[in-house]
Amino acid sequence: MLLAIDVGNTQIKVAVFEQNTLLNKEIIGFSNWEIAVKNTLRNFPKINNCVVASVGKLQKEDFLNLSSTLKVHFISFESKFPFQNLYRYPKTLGTDRMLLAAGAVFQFQKKNRLVIDAGTCITYDYIDENDNYLGGAISPGITLRYQSLHNYTDKLPLLTIEIPEELIGNSTNQSLHSGVINGVTLEIEGFINAYSYQNDNFIIILTGGDSEFLAKRLKNTIFANPNFLLESLNQTFQYNHND
């Protein structure tokens, strides 16, 4: 049994896997993460391995206290991945993006794949049908756009995610909602259309904290899975340790 921990920029996702079956998933904060992880270990005493991927403020040394009870493994640039990394500076590619690319190869073989991760940032990662990772794009996520509009202006309010009533906002709040939500939706649709135009045999994978919200608003046919990174983390662990 495997404990998979994904440390993001704003939250931590903890999952328990039995082979490829997801048994449990929790989203926890940074302030109480150790207590939450130890509770999971008590609830699932058969866990004997832990795999960690971090792009957030928790690093390898933060997990040393867990190593007395189970084997802790870390996914990094040095791990084995099922694709050829053709990024110009491969060592600068985030672990989360490498895992998403790995999951796309594991789950959708012999296809051109675009993985869109809608979280704190929106990342776009493209892996061709020959399993070459070519790169992608990074832009601000939904919450980050709301925060930026508030933090870098004098009078715009800080709003939370809400579907705009109309395309044309008839108030400051509705204008903000239209700008953020329609802006993100049109951006994603634009990227999908551009990639689709250049490639056939193509699949779009949407994941991340805002994926379910966005999936309902996108016109393109997509495979939406909010657990895609955790599943990829589990599969990458097996790929590295099941020889």
The tens digit of pLDDT for each residue in 229-243 reads 999 999 999 999 876
Rounded to an integer, the average pLDDT of 144-172 is 96
Write down the pLDDT at residue 68: 72
96 classed as catalytic? yes
Q: What is the Cα–Cα distance from 127 to 99, expressed in whole angstroms? A: 12
Of 96, 117, 125, 210, the active-site residue reads 96
The Cα 175–Cα 181 span in angstroms is 10
Give tens-digit pLDDT for 184-239.
999 999 999 999 888 889 999 999 999 999 998 898 778 999 999 999 999 999 99
pLDDT at 25 over 70: yes
Tokens of 54: 């971090």
For residue 104, which of 123, 76, 91 has the smallest C-alpha distance?
A: 123
- Alpha-carbon distance of 214 to 143, in angstroms, equals 13
Q: What is the pLDDT of residue 64?
A: 78
Complete edge-to-edge strand list for the sheet that includes strand 112-118: 84-85, 132-140, 121-127, 112-118, 202-207, 223-224
Confidence (pTM)? 0.92
